[in-house]
């Protein structure tokens, strides 16, 4: 994140200069106020990360908070450094954090006017978060590894899998998942797999390094029964639409794979996963398909290496969300769907990939995709020195791999199958899916 900081400092200096030169403008039709204009923008687009216990370094949940950071807020939004939102599909996704140009101007004008409060009686209520910092609300169950993991100061990245027993005697359906790293300095990303075979327990039992869990690069080291979702900076909690659940099979272990990136200091981490269970019977199971291209041979000094992937959809489905993923050379990713009629529409467009901000982008409404449709992925990579994130100087040939310095070309897509109706098949739908 070095690059944006430099730019931000420059913009900040410029905006301070401008605000010194400006006297409060009386020509403006109306001065924006915190109560009517600013609080709604901040509470809706910023507070979810900017509150105690979350990823951002300070809270933005009151007038005082916002006023205290007013100058940097104006600057950071002006250059679209904040809020992080790295896809280009207005209107397609829910929880969009995209600010309009008008909202950005309001923030700037408000700061210029000296941050007036306005009539605070009209201000929206400050957002209330669970005391423990959960965004999705109070979880029904919280899982953590048996104890903290100690990470050495230096060396290559670590992929550690923690085996967490759930011990439910019946299948459970999960409505929302929120994964929270214990240590934002070193947790790079987390994926929660499910295991019902006991394989993960065996891998842990065979590990004798005095620490919880076991090492496994890439996958979890066994064929996973399913996934409970993942976390990377910017990821929001995942919540299923009406009637849909994520299956947590009875007796399953949650295998929490944490990718650690060392920061030069000894660190400890204890990451959490919180679940909210479905309180009503579930008709459809959430499934995940990866659209990916393993065959990556990105030559040094190629500013625009292109990788593609395709997948023909075998049944009528509804798409719930997408999770684009590349590493440090990734520049753009474009995923589209072509219907059997030949008509195409975008599934997600990433105009300027930023490795530091990743997550599931959830469609406002599940997207209907009929059998025979083709999903296309096109990604581009910049393996030159002009890419500020390039980990190799001089650039080298890069292939698919698990290390941050390798590459990936991948988009996870969550979906449901139209023909599936668990409510009509009581043998499959667990009756105990009410809490």
Query: By rule CB under 6 A, what string of x and - marks binding of each residue 89-128 to ligand HEC?
Result: --------x-x-----------------------------
Query: CB burial class (10 A; 0-12, 13-18, 19+) of residue 402?
Result: middle
- Choose, by CB under 6 A, the member of 57, 91, 264, 394 that binds ligand HEC: 57
Please report how close the Cβ of residue 83 comes to ligand HEC at its closest, in angstroms: 3
Structure token digits, residue 266 = 């000894």
User: Residues touching ligand HEC: how many (CB under 6 A)?
Assistant: 21
Q: Does 79 engage in binding with ligand HEC (CB under 6 A)?
A: no
Report the alpha-carbon distance of residue 153 to residue 320 in Å, rounded: 40
Q: How far apart are CA 129 and CA 51, in angstroms?
A: 8
Q: Under the criterion CB under 6 A, does residue 56 sit at the interface with ligand HEC?
A: yes
Instruction: Please identify, among the stretches 51-59, 185-193, 252-260, 314-322, the one whose residues bind ligand HEC according to the rule CB under 6 A.
Output: 51-59
Identify the residue among 67, 80, 84, 183 touching ligand HEC (CB under 6 A): 84
Q: Does 83 bind ligand HEC (CB under 6 A)?
A: yes
Among 15, 51, 69, 189, binds ligand HEC (CB under 6 A): 69
Write the burial class of residue 119 (CB in 10 Å: 0-12 exposed, 13-18 middle, 19+ buried): exposed
Least distance between ligand HEC and beta carbon 360 (Å)? 13
Task: Look up tokens 């039709």; give the residue.
Answer: 29
Residues whose CB falls within 8 Å of the CB of residue 155, separated by 6 or more in sequence, listed in order: 262
Residue 76 interacting with ligand HEC (CB under 6 A): yes
In the numeric block, the tokens 């996963």 are attached to 273
- The CA distance from 430 to 171, in Å, is 6
Q: Which of 48, 78, 271, 380 touches ligand HEC (CB under 6 A)?
A: 48
Cβ closer to ligand HEC: 145 or 182? Answer: 182
Question: Based on CB atoms, which residue is closest to ligand HEC, 49 or 174?
Answer: 49
User: What x-and-dash track marks residues 219-238 binding ligand HEC by CB under 6 A?
Assistant: ---------------x----
Which residue's CB is nearer to ligand HEC, number 278 or number 348?
A: 348
**Distance separating alpha carbons of residues 361 and 94, to the nearest angstrom:** 8
Question: Residue 268: beta bridge partners?
Answer: 150
For ligand HEC, the closer of residues 55 and 311 by Cβ is 55
Q: What order of strands is seen across the sheet that includes strand 158-165? A: 214-215, 158-165, 253-260, 187-195, 226-231
Torsions phi, psi for 273 (to 5 deg): -130, 125
Q: Is 59 in the site for ligand HEC (CB under 6 A)?
A: no
Q: Are strands 284-285 and 244-248 parallel, antiparallel or unpaired?
A: parallel
Q: What does the alpha-carbon distance between residue 103 and residue 9 come to, in Å, rounded to a whole number?
A: 21
Binding site for ligand HEC (CB under 6 A): 1, 8, 45-46, 48-50, 55-57, 69, 72-73, 76-77, 82-84, 97, 99, 234
């Amino acid at each position: 994140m070095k690059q944006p900081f430099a730019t931000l400092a420059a913009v900040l200096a410029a905006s301070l200069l401008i605000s010194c030169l400006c006297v409060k403008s009386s020509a403006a039709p109306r001065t924006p106020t915190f109560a009517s204009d600013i609080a709604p923008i901040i509470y809706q687009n910023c507070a979810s990360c900017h509150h105690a216990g979350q990823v951002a370094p300070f809270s933005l949940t009151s007038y005082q908070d916002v006023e205290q950071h007013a100058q940097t807020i104006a600057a950071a939004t002006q250059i679209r450094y904040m809020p992080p939102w790295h896809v280009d599909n207005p209107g397609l996704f829910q929880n969009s954090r995209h600010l309009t140009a008008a909202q950005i101007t309001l923030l700037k004008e408000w700061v210029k006017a000296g941050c007036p409060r306005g009539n605070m009686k009209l201000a929206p209520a400050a957002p209330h978060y669970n005391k423990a910092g959960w965004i999705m609300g109070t979880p029904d169950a919280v899982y953590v590894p048996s104890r903290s993991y100690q990470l050495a100061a230096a060396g290559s990245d670590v992929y550690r899998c923690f085996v967490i027993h759930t011990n439910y005697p019946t299948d459970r359906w999960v409505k929302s998942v929120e994964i929270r790293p214990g240590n934002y300095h070193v947790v790079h990303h987390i994926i929660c797999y499910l295991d019902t075979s006991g394989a993960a327990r065996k891998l842990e039992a065979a590990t004798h390094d005095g620490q919880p869990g076991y090492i496994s690069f890439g996958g979890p080291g066994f064929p996973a029964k399913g996934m409970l979702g993942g976390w990377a900076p910017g990821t929001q909690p995942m919540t299923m639409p009406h009637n849909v659940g994520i299956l947590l099979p009875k007796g399953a272990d949650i295998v929490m794979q944490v990718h650690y990136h060392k920061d030069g200091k000894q660190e400890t981490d204890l990451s959490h996963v919180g679940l909210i269970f479905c309180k009503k019977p579930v008709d459809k199971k959430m499934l995940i398909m990866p659209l990916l291209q393993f065959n990556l041979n990105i030559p040094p000094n190629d500013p625009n290496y292109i990788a593609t992937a395709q997948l023909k959809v075998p049944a009528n489905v509804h798409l719930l969300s997408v999770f684009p993923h590349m590493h440090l050379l990734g520049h753009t990713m474009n995923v589209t769907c072509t219907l059997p009629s030949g008509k195409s529409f975008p599934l997600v467009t990433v105009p300027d990939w930023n490795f530091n901000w990743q997550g599931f982008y959830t469609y406002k409404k599940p997207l209907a995709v009929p059998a025979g449709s083709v999903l296309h992925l096109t990604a581009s990579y910049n393996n030159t020195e002009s890419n500020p994130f390039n980990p190799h100087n001089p650039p080298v040939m890069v292939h698919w791999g698990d290390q941050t310095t390798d590459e990936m070309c991948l988009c996870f897509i969550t979906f449901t199958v139209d023909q599936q109706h668990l409510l009509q098949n009581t043998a499959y739908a667990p009756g105990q899916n009410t809490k």
